[in-house]
Structure 1
């Protein structure tokens, strides 16, 4: 099975969102097996890199993922990426494609906000010079906040009083109000905890108190990564410095505009797209995330089959080296994806049928063709062993559940929480006749 969460790419028109999507989803060409049964036209597949346990168990040669791939112990796990229509100020009031944009967000677990760091496009996506890109971060967050606050505020008083009358808890009341935004009770509880609203009668909240809750709720519901794009363009340097200064120290419960300093990533999506194109055409050796590439002229192993470069291509590659790779260490696109998944706190889990060979068969023979660690599923933090069993096999495993074990034949309790590197390799047992 594949992980079911969705990361949405948002931003104004012409910020480089399409180039970013092409840069992070282009890796699908390396994999033939498609992990999702239904992919909408505005969705694609990207790959999240993690350390695969096959390396720790000296089984890299036998690692055969059903979805994605594993290369020298580096596992690439497929995730869904959604392209949301370009947003403009006034979207919360229906301007432009605002209603469609905000409706799409309900299906997202995290946001990647692609921002034009060069300041060469205004808030409508039109060409200009000297635009302050920090404005894009402010108003986009403001539009989402206005959308949710407006919906709550219109029905707040009477609806909440009815919930209070039936003695519903604040979590139950707010969850009922926010369920349409793909919100679980745990997110509502987390928002109330951050707000310090324990013991409050929420039916007495003023509009400003309700707005304060919405701000904190958005931080919990839509963790956001800011991809400062076009870092190799003129004026990008001064804009990047100004944005970093504004959000310096913003983290945890002290976010500003929903942005954490550690979740601002410098990117050049066009540079990544060009490097991948040149790698496919055998002009260079390059893997996403690397700080350099290899050409036929470089005296390095493995470049014997590379094609020679003409002056135009060589000049463009030299610019990417100087303005992106050498200055920033990478094009940044893979870092954005990693930060998005990490912001959600998702944990990779490897379900196996055998702890002897970590394979899909129950026997201990590694010579079979099934391979090991075939499946990897990213699950929400706090997921228990039994909850994951339901996620894997729905009612079948739930009805016949007999127990679970991890590496070293260590027994796992039903309520044990799955955590990275400890009990995230799991073998389930079923009662006789339950298979």
Structure 2
């Protein structure tokens, strides 16, 4: 995928655009200017969800330096704290004038906060959700503690996070994973081995293995003697066996695909597959087209998103069943759709 020097890795799906931001260089104290400072925190404004890659082997410290026995719980804590302090600092710097304007204009709490949080990519609905569970007095009476509560609630709502617990096959990983899952039970976490995924994909590209991404299925020439796969030398064969035993067979996958699925899940996105023939899902290009839509989207809304203003005679689901436009889309429910252009009878 091409790299945008200002953004990150830019995907090229059949329609639309997907971007993965690589926010490197973030260190404790970034909100005060340490490391690359607020530049990388500012990059987060464009993100819909965060994937925090945590080295659960304990062999990398908070500064990115090699070590042994480091507690990766620290990384999770300081990253969350940096984002919070960045937003809180920006808000508190102007809080006096914000309160005066709020009172003078008789604005609602949501409208006033949205005016301050819009630069982070928020919406009024998001702000309303963030403060809905907080018992707050009128905005002009908020204490510093209550303002901090609001910022924490907004940060959690605006930046839903998936923990990618990486290097899961390291000997020290188990104890660190257990601590993280216990401390952050309400945060979605996925065990990963990114280096294994890179290794396998490289071999697949070179023609040495056949790999079904997101699964434990990894075949070599020995497994598929009639295939066109290349023979592995002894060194590569041993590395493949190690990946199978330590990662794929033990955990079921490298976890990389599952992390992306988890990110879509925290955003409540449902993959919808528009097909030309609802009765035939065969062929190498099956389900090549995919559109991510918010959970709760109706079939009619999906049709307009995918087909635009083209008149439709009917919308069919799996098995050729006609679907009403007000039916709801969800995972494994109305997520395979065939749009029939034409005038309705």
TM-score by length of 2: 0.83
The equivalent position to 2:147 in structure 1, one of 210, 233, 258, is 210
How far apart in 2 are the matches of 1:233 and 1:319? 12
Contact 1:406 1:423 in 2 (8 A): no
Q: Secondary structure at the match of 1:212?
A: helix
Where does residue 291 of structure 2 map in the other structure? 377
Match of 1:221 in 2: 158
2:335 is the counterpart of 1:412 = no
Aligned mate of 2:4, from 40, 62, 65: 40
Map of 2:118 onto structure 1: 179
Match of 2:270 in 1: 347
Distance 1:344 1:279 in 2: 31
Q: Does 1:132 find its partner at 2:82?
A: no
Q: Structure 1-normalised TM-score? A: 0.67
Q: Which residue of the partner structure matches residue 272 of structure 1?
A: 197
**Structure 1: gaps of 5 or more residues:** 1-27, 29-37, 48-65, 69-76, 252-259, 359-365
Shift of 1:306: 2.2
CA distance in 1, matches of 2:286, 2:65: 51
> 1:101 deviation in Å?
0.7
Structure 1 match to 2:231 = 308
For the residues of structure 2 that align with 1:43 and 1:269, how far apart are their CA atoms?
A: 18
Describe the SS at the equivalent of 2:147: helix
- Listed one character per residue, the Cα deviations across residues 176-219 of structure 1 (whole Å, up to 9, x for unaligned) are 1100001011111111123355xx31221111111111111112
CA RMSD of aligned residues (A): 3.4
Instruction: Report the CA distance between 1:67 and its aligned residue.
Output: 1.8
For 2:62 and 2:177, locate their aligned partners in 1 and report how far apart those are by CA, in whole Å. Answer: 17
Aligned partners of 2:68 and 2:252: how far apart in 1?
A: 27
Q: Summarize the alignment of residues 330-369 of structure 1 with structure 2, pairs less than 5 Å apart.
A: 330-349=253-272
Describe the shift of the 1:176–1:327 C-alpha distance in structure 2 as closer, same or farther (beyond 3 A).
same
> How far did residue 385 of structure 1 move?
7.0
Higher RCO (C-alpha under 8 Å, 6+ residues apart): 1
Q: Are residues 382 and 181 of structure 1, via their aligned partners in 2, closer, same or farther at CA, if it must alter by over 3 Å?
A: farther
1:382-408, CA deviations, whole angstroms, 9 ceiling, x for partnerless residues?
5567876776688xx4xxx98996435
Which segments of 5 or more consecutive residues in structure 2 lack a partner in the other structure?
none
Deviation at 1:412, TM superposition (A): 3.0
Q: 1:319 to 1:304 in 2, by over 3 A?
A: same
Look up the match of 1:145. 84
